[in-house]
Structure 1
Amino acid sequence: MDAQTLPPPDVCDRARAAKDARFDGLFFTAVRSTGIYCRPVCPAPTPKRQNIRYYPSAAAAAAAGYRPCLRCRPELSPGAFVRGGEQAVQRALALIADGALDEGSVEQLAREVGLGGRQLRRVFLAETGATPIAVHGTRRLLLAKQLLTETALPVTQIALASGFRSLRRFHAAFLEGCGMPPGAIRRQRGETPAGTLALRLVYRPPLDFPLLLAFLGKRAIDGIERVGADTYERVCGPADAPVFLRVTAVPDRPELRLEIEGGDPRGLPDLVRRVRRLFDLDADPASVQAGLAGTPQLAIGLRRRPGLRVPGAWDGFELAVRAVLGQQVSVAGATTLARRLVQNHGAQRPAGRPGLDRVFPTPAELAEAPLEAIGLPKSRAATLRALAAAVAEGRVHFGAGQRLDEFVRGLVALPGIGPWTAHYVAMRALGHPDAFPAGDLVLQQVLGGADGRLSERETEARSQAWRPWRAYAVLHLWFLSGDAVKENA
């Protein structure tokens, strides 16, 4: 729900006139005559141009005194990648989304991204049109609006889930931001069934959901997740209080449907963030294509798979463990080792479902575990224990807002973890769009083509033209390699 610097006015005009979903979340249209702000895809009649003002984010429109539209629902807009200031704004936005301002201050947030408080406010105003506090407040308000519209949760639970500690403050903020009390939203929507929560997760098209499921399905861990031809299911949460998730595509609309059973409503923001990261729902395909289309091999990949996204990860530690298990073995072999790991060291869920009845082991549990028993070589078992210990002690973490180079340095400092593994984890666990494992043999071979495999240095040099979208280049080149194998078979 935050956007990058505002596109040119003529681009906004055309996108708004065409109701182009590719620009959803990249700007917001405020209408002076009505006092509301809308997404580019709003189905309402097009207002006169002289009554329109464009804003780079929902927070900027809200700060200018506009209210969110009830028809197009700005709370559904996907996020966007922000360029500028060594990605300080992007890192700060990720930290805000992870709750950095729920308890902390703007000064603490600024220190986390390496800026002063005044400097952070200045770059935020330049990039998003609003201050960090305004962005945080708008995010909370729009989440509450979505939960009021799409769920039957009591208003008190929605207030808590949205980060409000006081029902009185929630009512006051909602009245100020939306121009009506929370109950008015409830009266305007249709009946919402109680029980399973179902939320709409919107993205900018195109998105190849079957391709994402195929990638995740080959790497799915039995007992934790289950991937079908058109469905992703997962269990998370503590052993005695499981949360079951189901994600499916919505036909004929650029959105996924997230169904949630169980759990504390206060955990909803975290669940939504994890699902959006898992399916890379905040990607900007148009910007990715513009950044990669100049390379012939990538231009082929973009034509073949325009909806390709970078598959994320539900949990950073889980993905890092899976990456270590996959060192020097096939994808199928790593999946087998992951299944054994969960069976041997993952707790059983007493209220589990068939196929979704395990808890992934914690870092503390794996730090001293006899991992050789699942078939790991001693060196790789030692690497996995070192990783688990580093995470348990806080020396390595997978939280939002980390700089790519710092994260990679922290991982490669561990025995048995090299740059390839570190960049792969950054690509999927952190969702870092510029992660690039230059030592990957497949990348070197595909880029070298008939002239022979490139060196790691040559591969790194070639990749500079693709920044900040190198992770997408990696996925395209991997798939192109698979295409070549099929064509030559």
Structure 2
Amino acid sequence: MAEVGERVEEVVREPVDVPALRAWLVAHGVPAVDEVVTAPSGATTHRRDVRGVGPVAVDLPTDGAPRLVAPDAAGLQVLRRWLGLDHDPTPGVAALADDPVLGPLVRARPHVRVPGTPDPFEAAVNVVLGQHVSLAAGRVFAGRLAAAHPVTPEALAALDPEVLRADVGVTGARARTLVALARAVLDGLELTPQPDPDAGAATRAALLALPGVGPWTADLVMMRCLRDPDVFLPGDLVLRKALGGVTAREAARRAEAWAPHRSLAVAHLWTHHALDPR
């Protein structure tokens, strides 16, 4: 780690599948929140301001190791969670390498990691905005929200859902879910990693108790925000396509064999669909 003025930099030493990471960051970048600069070589720099941290950047070269830039060492840890560097995929790779479905994907890309988020509350909000719409549409809604209001629990909890509906263009039900989520966080709902598995289970139950939150939303928040390593999303259309167009029930049945590394399985199936389609 090197200090540069008021910034600190770190060159990532762990193996990372940079193309997969780049595809994820580009696909999930929110307009006016995430800035992506692409060099003629294809290398990218991803910049944003993180609540409570400040301006951060991730440099993804076409050849070489990623570089992280943050205001301080704590900011670097936030970036490491965002890129999935907080979880070592090696045990999951070893467990899944011989699986008839996932084995070829894992062996081809052994350094894929499970992405996290630099701001758990913002990520949970964006998951809600992405319900029942395409990834691109969810990004549009997230950009509208960020342009109209601070994406903080305090700001959203104080809003009339009708104002959110009008400003963002979502349904009234979706707007009510956003306000309920913000108020639950202010009341103590924890969206950061929990060392106690029982605490994680309680968080998932609390999420499911919110109006408009179903298993897909709760589980995606568990994977990205609380960093649960064993989450699967059988209702996710992209995952079902990556599995050959199976039903949600069949996807869930197949995923039973991938426990306790189902979050890594999700990351591989998403990557396969985005970068390595049949």
Equivalent of residue 365 in structure 1, options 149, 155, 165: 155
1:238-279 Cα shifts (integer Å, max 9, x gaps): 6xxx822122247876x5322235xxxxxx343122111011
Cross-structure match for 2:50: 236
Q: Does 1:470 align with 2:274?
A: no
What is the distance in 2 between the residues matched to 1:247 and 1:483?
A: 21
Equivalent of residue 429 in structure 1, options 225, 236, 242: 225
Deviation, structure 1 residue 340 = 0.7
Unaligned ranges ≥5, structure 2: 39-43
Letter in 1 for 2:8: A
Q: 1:282 to 1:344 in 2, by over 3 A?
A: closer
Cross-structure match for 2:69: 259
Contact 1:196 1:259 in 2 (8 A): no
Q: Does 1:406 align with 2:205?
A: no
Q: 1:335 to 1:251 in 2, by over 3 A?
A: closer
Contact 1:198 1:257 in 2 (8 A): no
The answer to which of 432-441 and 422-431 deviates more is 432-441
Letter in 2 for 1:211: A
Cross-structure match for 1:30: none
Where do 1:241-320 residues align within 5 Å? Answer: 243-249=54-60, 255-261=65-71, 268-320=72-124
Where do 1:214-233 residues align within 5 Å? Answer: 214-229=23-38, 230-233=44-47
Q: Does 1:332 align with 2:136?
A: yes
Contact 2:8 2:69 in 1 (8 A): yes
Cross-structure match for 1:378: 172
Aligned-residue RMSD, C-alpha: 2.6
What is the distance in 2 between the residues matched to 1:233 and 1:409?
A: 34
Contact 1:217 1:228 in 2 (8 A): no
**Helix, strand or coil at the partner of 1:247:** strand
Q: 1:380 to 1:295 in 2, by over 3 A?
A: same
**Helix, strand or coil at the partner of 1:234:** strand
What is the distance in 1 between the residues matched to 2:174 and 2:89?
A: 37
**Helix, strand or coil at the partner of 1:297:** coil
TM-score between the two structures when normalised by the length of structure 1: 0.50
What is the distance in 2 between the residues matched to 1:291 and 1:454?
A: 25
Aligned residue-pair number: 266
Contact 1:203 1:282 in 2 (8 A): no
Percent of aligned pairs with the same residue?
38
Q: Which is higher, the Rg of structure 1 or of structure 2?
A: 1
Letter in 1 for 2:185: V
1:395-437 Cα shifts (integer Å, max 9, x gaps): x211222534322211111111111111111111122211222
**Helix, strand or coil at the partner of 1:228:** strand
Cross-structure match for 2:41: none
What is the distance in 1 between the residues matched to 2:17 and 2:273?
A: 18
Where do 1:448-487 residues align within 5 Å? Answer: 449=244, 453-456=246-249, 458-482=250-274, 487=278
Unaligned ranges ≥5, structure 1: 1-145, 152-192, 262-267, 347-360
Deviation, structure 1 residue 303 = 3.5
**Helix, strand or coil at the partner of 1:210:** helix
Q: 1:430 to 1:326 in 2, by over 3 A?
A: same
TM-score between the two structures when normalised by the length of structure 2: 0.84
